[in-house]
Amino acid sequence: MTLPSPETADTLIRVMLATPLPHADGALTYRMDEQAALLAEPGQLVSAPLGKRQVTGMVIDKTSGTASEDKAITYKTAIPYDAALRLTVEMQKFLNWVAQWYMEPPGGVFKMAVSVPSALTPEMLPTGYQCIADPDQASTPRRRNILIALSDMAMLPQTAASIHALTGASASTIKAMVAEGLLKEVPLASPPSASLSALPDRQYPLTDEQAIAADQLAAAVDAKAFKAFVLDGVTGSGKTEVYFEAVAAALRAGRQALILLPEIALSQAFEKRCLDRFGFRPRLWHSGLTDARRRAVWRDAIKGEPMVVAGARSALFLPFSQLGVMVVDEEHDHSFRQQDGVRYHARDMAVVRAKLSSVPVILSSATPSLETLVNAEQGKYDHIRLTNRFGEAGMPEISLVDLSKTPTERRRWLASPLVDAIKKALANQEQILLFLNRRGYAPMSLCLSCRERIVCPNCSAWLVTHKSAGQLRCHHCGHSSRFPEQCPSCGVEGMIMACGPGVERLAEEVALRFPDARQGLFSSDVITSPVKAEAFFDAVHKGEIDIIIGTQMIAKGHHFPGLTLVGVVDADLGLSGGDLRGGELSWQLLTQVAGRAGRAEKLGRVMMQTAMPEARVLQSLLKDDRAGFIAAEKADREAAHMPPFGRLAAVILSSRDQEKLTAFTTQMARQWPNYDGMTLLGPAPAPIRLLRGQHRVRFLIKAEREVNLQRAIAQWLDRVKIPSIITCQLDIDPVSFF
Binding site for Zn ion (CB under 5 A): 456, 458-459, 474, 476-477, 479
Q: Is 238 in the site for ligand ADP (CB under 6 A)?
A: yes
267: Cβ contacts below 8 Å, ≥ 6 apart: 530, 533, 534, 537, 557, 558
Helix (H, G, I), strand (E, B) or coil at 717: helix
Q: DSSP E strands: which ranges in 509-614?
A: 519-522, 547-550, 563-568, 605-610
Quote the CA–CA distance of 283 and 265 in Å, as a whole number: 14
Select the span of 77-85, 131-139, 235-243, 709-717 touching ligand ADP (CB under 6 A).
Answer: 235-243
Which residue lies nearer to ligand ADP by CB, 47 or 388?
388
Which residue lies nearer to ligand ADP by CB, 57 or 233?
233
Indicate which single residue of 40, 48, 87, 206 sits in contact with ligand ADP (rule: CB under 6 A).
Answer: 206
Q: Is 209 in the site for ligand ADP (CB under 6 A)?
A: no
277: Cβ contacts below 8 Å, ≥ 6 apart: 200, 202, 203, 241, 244, 248
241 contact choice in Zn ion, ligand ADP, none (CB below 5 to 8 Å, kind-dependent):
ligand ADP
Least distance (Å) from Zn ion to the CB of residue 472?
10
456 contact choice in ligand ADP, Zn ion, none (CB below 5 to 8 Å, kind-dependent):
Zn ion
Which residue lies nearer to ligand ADP by CB, 276 or 420?
276
390 contact choice in Zn ion, ligand ADP, none (CB below 5 to 8 Å, kind-dependent):
ligand ADP
477 contact choice in Zn ion, ligand ADP, none (CB below 5 to 8 Å, kind-dependent):
Zn ion
Select the span of 83-91, 206-214, 307-315, 569-577 touching ligand ADP (CB under 6 A).
Answer: 206-214
Distances (CA, A) of 378 to 373, 375, 382, 631: 9, 5, 10, 14
Indicate which single residue of 96, 158, 237, 592 sits in contact with ligand ADP (rule: CB under 6 A).
Answer: 237
Draw the binding track, 25-44, toward ligand ADP (x: CB under 6 A; -: no contact): --------------------
Indicate which single residue of 14, 86, 143, 239 sits in contact with ligand ADP (rule: CB under 6 A).
Answer: 239
Q: How many DSSP H helices and E strands does the chain contain?
A: 20, 30
Helix (H, G, I), strand (E, B) or coil at 192: coil
Which of 155, 326, 343 lies closest to 738, judged by CA? Answer: 343
Least distance (Å) from ligand ADP to the CB of residue 696?
39
Q: DSSP E strands: which ranges in 300-422?
A: 308-311, 323-329, 360-365, 382-386, 397-402
The letter for the amino acid at 161 is A
207 contact choice in ligand ADP, Zn ion, none (CB below 5 to 8 Å, kind-dependent):
ligand ADP
Helix H or strand E segment including 270:
helix 268-278
Least distance (Å) from ligand ADP to the CB of residue 207?
5
Quote the CA–CA distance of 451 and 729 in Å, as a whole number: 36
Q: Is 262 in the site for ligand ADP (CB under 6 A)?
A: no
Task: Confirm if 125 and 178 have CB atoms less than 8 A apart.
Answer: no
689 contact choice in Zn ion, ligand ADP, none (CB below 5 to 8 Å, kind-dependent):
none
Q: At what angle do helices 160-167 and 141-152 cross, to 10 degrees?
A: 110
Q: Which of residues 301-360 bind ligand ADP (CB under 6 A)?
A: none
688 contact choice in Zn ion, ligand ADP, none (CB below 5 to 8 Å, kind-dependent):
none
Which residue lies nearer to Zn ion by CB, 422 or 686?
686
Task: Confirm if 54 and 121 have CB atoms less than 8 A apart.
Answer: no
Least distance (Å) from ligand ADP to the CB of residue 244?
8
Q: At what angle do helices 582-594 and 626-639 cross, to 10 degrees?
A: 170
Q: Which of residues 389-408 bind ligand ADP (CB under 6 A)?
A: 390
Long-range CB contacts for residues 168-173, cutoff 8 Å, separation at least 24 = 169/142, 173/142, 173/143, 173/146
Which residue lies nearer to Zn ion by CB, 130 or 458?
458
Helix (H, G, I), strand (E, B) or coil at 443: coil
Which residue lies nearer to ligand ADP by CB, 269 or 517?
269
Q: Is 592 in the site for ligand ADP (CB under 6 A)?
A: no
Q: Is 105 in the site for ligand ADP (CB under 6 A)?
A: no
Q: Is 439 in the site for ligand ADP (CB under 6 A)?
A: no
250 contact choice in Zn ion, ligand ADP, none (CB below 5 to 8 Å, kind-dependent):
none
By CB under 6 A, the count of residues binding ligand ADP is 14
The sign of the torsion formed by the CA atoms of 511, 513, 515, 516 equals negative
240 contact choice in ligand ADP, Zn ion, none (CB below 5 to 8 Å, kind-dependent):
ligand ADP
474 contact choice in Zn ion, ligand ADP, none (CB below 5 to 8 Å, kind-dependent):
Zn ion
420: Cβ contacts below 8 Å, ≥ 6 apart: none
Q: Which of residues 681-700 bind ligand ADP (CB under 6 A)?
A: none
481 contact choice in Zn ion, ligand ADP, none (CB below 5 to 8 Å, kind-dependent):
none
Indicate which single residue of 236, 440, 502, 567 sits in contact with ligand ADP (rule: CB under 6 A).
Answer: 236
Quote the CA–CA distance of 270 and 240 in Å, as a whole number: 10
77 contact choice in ligand ADP, Zn ion, none (CB below 5 to 8 Å, kind-dependent):
none
Indicate which single residue of 115, 207, 388, 727 sits in contact with ligand ADP (rule: CB under 6 A).
Answer: 207
Which of 238, 240, 315, 262 lies closest to 556, judged by CA? Answer: 262
Quote the CA–CA distance of 299 and 122 in Å, as a whole number: 10
Draw the binding track, 240-259, toward ligand ADP (x: CB under 6 A; -: no contact): xx------------------
Quick one: the chain helix, strand, coil %, rounded to 5?
Answer: 35, 25, 40
87 contact choice in Zn ion, ligand ADP, none (CB below 5 to 8 Å, kind-dependent):
none
Q: Is 588 in the site for ligand ADP (CB under 6 A)?
A: no
Burial of 135 (0-12, 13-18, 19+ CB in 10 A): middle
Quote the CA–CA distance of 28 and 367 in Å, as a whole number: 46
Indicate which single residue of 167, 216, 235, 655 sits in contact with ligand ADP (rule: CB under 6 A).
Answer: 235
Which residue lies nearer to ligand ADP by CB, 144 or 559?
559
Q: What does the chain come to in residues?
A: 738
Q: Is 604 in the site for ligand ADP (CB under 6 A)?
A: no
Which of 510, 516, 454, 519 lies closest to 483, judged by CA? Answer: 454
Quote the CA–CA distance of 669 and 479 in Å, as a whole number: 33
Draw the binding track, 539-578, toward ligand ADP (x: CB under 6 A; -: no contact): --------------------x-------------------
Long-range CB contacts for residues 261-264, cutoff 8 Å, separation at least 24 = 261/310, 261/311, 261/312, 261/329, 261/330, 262/312, 262/329, 262/330, 262/333, 262/335, 262/336, 262/556, 262/557, 263/287, 263/312, 263/335, 264/533, 264/553, 264/556, 264/557
Which chain residues interact with ligand ADP by CB under 6 A?
204, 206-207, 210, 233, 235-241, 390, 559
